[in-house]
Chains A and B, each alone.
Chain A
Amino acid sequence: MMRALRFVLDHSLAVPIGAGVALIWANTLSDSYFRLALPTAFWVNDVGMALFFGFALQEVIETMVEGGALHTWRRATLPVVAAIGGSLGAVAAYELYVQSGDEQVLRSGWPIVCGVDAAFSYFLVKSLVQRKGATAFLLLLAIASNAIGLVIIGLRQPVMDIHLAGGILLIVAAVAVSIGLKQAKVGSFWPHLLIAGGLSWSGFAISGLHPALALLPIVPFFPHAPRGLDVFHDAPHSPHDSPSHFEHVFRVPVQIVLFLFALVNAGVLIRGYGTGSWAVLSGTLVGRPIGTLLSVAAAVAIGFHLPHGVTWRGLVVVAVAASVGFVFALFYATATYPVGNVLGELKTGAVLTAAGAIPTWVIAKLLREGRFA
């Protein structure tokens, strides 16, 4: 049992398992699925996912502190360019698809295609391309794309004017508490999480901003230790393997949150596809790879160099692998639309982006890249 659990955690299988259960459940016992999923969605999407985004930001920050894999911004420049280009390509393809039809209600859904499922794409590239440079490039691209998506989602939330001042005051108080704890050299993240985190979450909720993003302003002040880019594996006895370290304590709970997230959000009805689903797939499967490759080509043309260990063939595979939006696309969908037919279509599209694994495999094989060399 413990070995099975370890295998699930090591291979980030919580999401696929949660999604699989949700899909089967929603399409066999629909009523009981939606009766559970809809009331639970708030606790998972607005509360639990705050831990996930805090956890993800902690990892990003630790790759950037001195001694981390991305200590200098220089190393991250090209993947960031690729992320911007990929997101622009994805949004353009989404918009083109929606504009070509008559379903105007879908026009607000474009942030959904900014999502890249880092874990899914990582394992895809790792198993196909088998080069560290390519997996690092993919991870950075995913992190930057999701950062773009989070900023857009954060800015597009309907802010409630009446409560805005109070909410912002709470967020500022949360940051002040976290800075105070850092200056007092408090070695544990718990006071940050419980006091500042609680204040920040309340501030986000009151002001109308998405509460799942509540830990983002305070995580920069958590205790940090530098880390490499192999974010899905931490060696035992590393600085991250300590009870005072956020990742050590929350590695398993975050996987549980992701399992629950997939369980309550990925249960789409098989007949629930529609224009929104095809628009998401156009954005992610067509627009993103084209945008990614064009932006990298433009950057190389003006003097940037491909990172060590990344070839053009590998880059093509990475660009297609980044078309898998899954968890992030699902999150952006639920943050953009309330329950209804439109959300159903878009979530179906987000789930179907997992099919991006197929063209990734085909292209890797055609280009004889990595394991097919």
Chain B
Amino acid sequence: MMLRTVLVALALLAQQIAGLPTRPDSVKFAVMGDMGTGDKPQYEVASQLSAAHARFPFDTVIMLGDNLYGRQEPSDFVQKFEKPYKPLLDAGVKFYAALGNHDAQSNPNYKPFNMNGNRYYTYTKNDVRFFVLDTDVLDPAQVAWLEKSLQASNDRWKICYFHHPLYSDGGRHGSSVDLRVILEPMFIKYGVNVVFSGHDHIYERILPQHGIYYFVSGSAGQLRRGDLKRTALTAAGYDQDQTCMLVEVAADDLSFVTISRTGATVDSGVIHRTPRS
């Protein structure tokens, strides 16, 4: 009996994705940005996500903007969103979108993006609160809303995501310093732990800045091969293939694995939450 239990446990362990504890009570989500091309690489990344879902049953996907490129008619939503992610949608996985510069302004009304008509919004998954921003136009009303929402949040983890990266070593766009000057002081003041962005079509993990972990994950459909210009800020990066991320938050640990279009792990790690005053 005991041997059988051990064997089952070993079998389950073998099925897990290395680097992700896959605890039953944890918050599990996937991260993808700049994906909505409708081209083959987007479908291939989507297939990797579907395959990963079988071993790592995430119930949420956060979308970092440029969710659809080009024409955005109803048929495009099918071709560039509903078809590639059909297995996940069918499994009840919920997608939460941020707007990018290529997204139509009416996209917050598209139900499967779960934006409820809002350009910026917040939601929780257990003890993780997500703050979703529209960095195309960071109007004073949005900044005031963010400050109020961050201040009101007592959640253990505060995760922000939006399209334009505050830190990036992508050669094409790089860091959005004007946004950083406005947003980062609030992130520091109210204890934001992790920030995800896209826009640069690469993957990059930035060394922690003021205790905050920044990721650029803008290559789940688009790719600018060779565009990562590593600097002293770069903790890890990958610009040779499309990527997406799998993230698990359990108690004070956030584990992440970045996988490529072929399923190879290109980065992984654990972020331990240190409460900040």
Contacts and interface: CB of A to CB of B under 8 A. Distances in A.
A280 to B, nearest CB: 15
Interface string B164-181: 100000011111111111
Contact of A339 (B71, B104, B138): B138
Nearest to A276: B101
B105 A104 contact: yes
Max chain A C-beta neighbours (<10 A), residue from B102, B140, B178: B178
Given A31-B177, A31-B180, A34-B181, A342 B105 contact: no
A340 B179 contact: yes
Contact of A271 (B104, B173, B181): B173
Interface string B112-156: 000000000000000000000001111110000000000000000
A102 interface: yes
B182 interface: yes
A66 to B, nearest CB: 46
Nearest to A30: B177
B101 A341 contact: yes
B72 interface: yes
A38 B181 contact: yes
A274 interface: yes
B157 interface: no
Nearest to A36: B181
Nearest to B163: A341
A330 to B, nearest CB: 14
B139 A338 contact: yes
Interface in A256-301: 269, 271-272, 274-275
Interface string A340-364: 1111100000000000000000000
Contacts, number: 69
Interface string B80-106: 000000000000000000000110110
Contacts of A105: 101, 105, 136-137
B196 interface: no
Contact of A337 (B71, B72, B137): B137
Given A38-B182, A337-B137, A342-B136, A102 B177 contact: no
B140 A271 contact: no
Max chain A C-beta neighbours (<10 A), residue from B102, B136, B182: B136
Given A34-B181, A35-B181, A102-B72, A341 B102 contact: no
Interface in A317-347: 337-344
B72 A343 contact: no
B174 A271 contact: yes
B69 interface: yes
A203 B71 CA distance: 43
Interface string B26-56: 0000000000000000000000000000000
Contacts of A30: 175, 177
B70 interface: yes
Contacts of B102: 102-103
A100 to B, nearest CB: 11
A339 B72 CA distance: 26
Interface string A128-150: 00000000000000000000000
B172 A339 contact: no
Contact of B178 (A34, A102, A271, A274): A34
A175 to B, nearest CB: 29
Interface string A195-229: 00000000000000000000000000000000000
Contacts of B69: 102
B169 to A, nearest CB: 11
Contacts of A34: 177-178, 180-181
Interface string A153-192: 0000000000000000000000000000000000000000
Interface of B: 69-72, 101-102, 104-105, 135-140, 163-164, 171-182, 199
Given A105-B105, A341-B176, A342-B136, 6 more contacts: A34-B180, A105-B101, A274-B101, A338-B139, A340-B139, A341-B179
Interface of A: 26, 30-31, 33-35, 38, 102-105, 269, 271-272, 274-275, 337-344
14 contacts: A34-B180, A34-B181, A102-B70, A104-B105, A105-B137, A271-B174, A272-B173, A275-B101, A337-B137, A339-B178, A339-B182, A340-B136, A340-B179, A342-B137
